[in-house]
Structure 1
């Protein structure tokens, strides 16, 4: 036993000496690789930043995931975490300053500004409104007037009936002849098989999914029936305090995010693969098909991704005021800005 103990002690000493030698060799090599008078570089400290989504991850959000995956945020000194909204929603989290950035909608920002809530839209994710009323083709809803006598499934917002009324009036229809029910937590495909005839969807996700399912839709895009309804949905938002206290952070975040969406515009297949890898629970086939459909529409006819136009904000807010969805006209200058986009002068 004494001999065995001695042998173990010797072995341990050999390992320690060898380790010390390796450490000295590593230090020597590191010193040799570092020019005289300079110290070895240390990892760059990244600033932790959160961005909150408006809903579960989908191709509206691809640019964020690309920017994170491709190191665009890290190159700006940011460690970005993409999170899903809590019970209060993304607007509340951003407006309160709990989270610096989020995904919202022009409608929500407009209503928030009227109520004195300091949300500010800093980029349009999609240049034109890709939402509309969708119905299975067997319901024979080809025009807004055909909504009459049908059941609409919604989420209980007064905006829904106002939009429906607006486009039905132009088609000599009567919104009072539409039965409006709350869909609750049911998804579109479940609801139309159960108790509704049509609903308001984003075609890039639900419409493309219908294609993949072999369940063709009649899709009535709201922008095709009233130009005021071609508003920005979704948008990226921050709050006034964030802009005042740290405008450089907003610029850095938007530089990286813009690169992420430009990548998704240029490389839809690769961008779809990144989103699917980042959110494994998503249906890969749906993500790819949706991305191919949506990528050309991020920028569309705008000169640069993210740009917002005064006439869009003015037109939609005037429409909301006309339909008594706002208590007063919107001061559009405070609601949005292009100043933090990379191409801003």
Structure 2
């Protein structure tokens, strides 16, 4: 065989190799982006910093998720929004999920924003109200004078757990929720159901020094903002939930480490928010998000047990439920 023939054979083999290689190469399949709507429990603010951060830093994009964050408000019930499929994820309190379960609405909490409940009874430091017993003979600000409002439940639970007589103190209706204005005006000595986050910042900005009586120190321990889905949604979307919670927790971790930066993310969602105030609130809520005793977002069985017992004590549910059906840590322990 002459040299020319050998060259032709070599060229033919090379072409065949290229053709075989090309035929064997498959284009990378395009995976559709998961589009998710999350119903917030209240208006936009740094309480939801982890979600904003996960958007801004591309954590959701890394997980191939595109989200819409719907603000809440007094007229919006996240449970209804998720039940009616207007959102796949919602944020609400643990007691609300237990009550919903007794009404044959099957939701599951997959994470919590605050591991520690920030609700307090707030007073001015100069008045030296440090324990529930110090409220005897004082006027306490409440949501309803007969303590029938659902938001008065923490106060009632505190009285129940400490054995204090509700008639041993006086009550006034809270009308101004800005910091300690009601106390400074002489309308009351202490305010029930305040948050040791935003209310604390409001008061500090006004130059006030406060004392806090934390409800969870006296037996009222309820997750106030759990992230929940329909039970059936978990069964068919476990991977999506896992990716979303992973990105969200990553967002909260970044927010804890960079509170001033992420406050600006909240302002992007609502330009009417005051940046400095949001920065201060973000810093104030860090100890309630990251408690140091368990992973961010995870939940404790005893908190759910306490929550259910409170609901039973006040006849808000007729019988206990299986709490293992109402929450899971499988997505926060990754």
User: TM-score, normalization: structure 1?
Assistant: 0.78
Contact 2:63 2:243 in 1 (8 A): yes
- Counterparts of 1:191 and 1:56, CA distance in 2: 23
- Counterparts of 1:339 and 1:42, CA distance in 2: 29
- CA drift of 1:67 comes to 0.6
Q: Who is 2:306 aligned against?
A: 315
- CA drift of 1:136 comes to 3.5
- Counterparts of 1:330 and 1:308, CA distance in 2: 17
Q: Who is 1:305 aligned against?
A: 296
1:144 counterpart = 2:132: yes
Aligned counterpart for 2:95 among listed residues 98, 103, 107: 107
- Counterparts of 1:222 and 1:51, CA distance in 2: 29
Q: Cα deviation per residue 1:187-225 (whole Å; 9 max; x = unaligned)?
A: 555554484541311111111221122122221111122
- CA drift of 1:66 comes to 0.5
Any stretches of 5+ residues in structure 1 without a counterpart? 1-35
Aligned counterpart for 1:279 among listed residues 260, 270, 274: 270
Aligned counterpart for 1:47 among listed residues 34, 39, 45: 34
Q: Who is 1:222 aligned against?
A: 215
Q: Cα deviation per residue 1:106-148 (whole Å; 9 max; x = unaligned)?
A: 1211221222222211102122112111134466543323434
Map 1:138-287 to 2 at 5 A.
141-148=129-136, 149-154=138-143, 158-168=149-159, 171=162, 173-180=164-171, 183=174, 187=178, 189=180, 191-192=182-183, 193=185, 195-197=187-189, 198-226=191-219, 229-287=220-278
Aligned-partner SS, 1:246: helix
Aligned-partner SS, 1:127: coil
Any stretches of 5+ residues in structure 2 without a counterpart? 1-21
Pairwise CA RMSD of aligned residues?
3.0
Contact 2:142 2:152 in 1 (8 A): no
Contact 1:151 1:180 in 2 (8 A): yes
Q: Who is 2:122 aligned against?
A: 134
- Counterparts of 1:165 and 1:39, CA distance in 2: 66
Contact 1:120 1:334 in 2 (8 A): yes
Indicate how the Cα distance of structure 1 residues 43 and 289 shifts in structure 2: closer, same or farther if over 3 A, else same: farther
- Counterparts of 1:41 and 1:212, CA distance in 2: 55
Contact 1:95 1:118 in 2 (8 A): no
User: TM-score, normalization: structure 2?
Assistant: 0.80
Moved more, 282-291 or 293-302: 293-302
Contact 1:134 1:199 in 2 (8 A): yes
1:79 counterpart = 2:72: no
Contact 1:59 1:294 in 2 (8 A): no
Contact 2:44 2:269 in 1 (8 A): no
Count of matched residue pairs? 307
Q: Who is 1:8 aligned against?
A: none
- CA drift of 1:286 comes to 1.6
- CA drift of 1:231 comes to 2.7
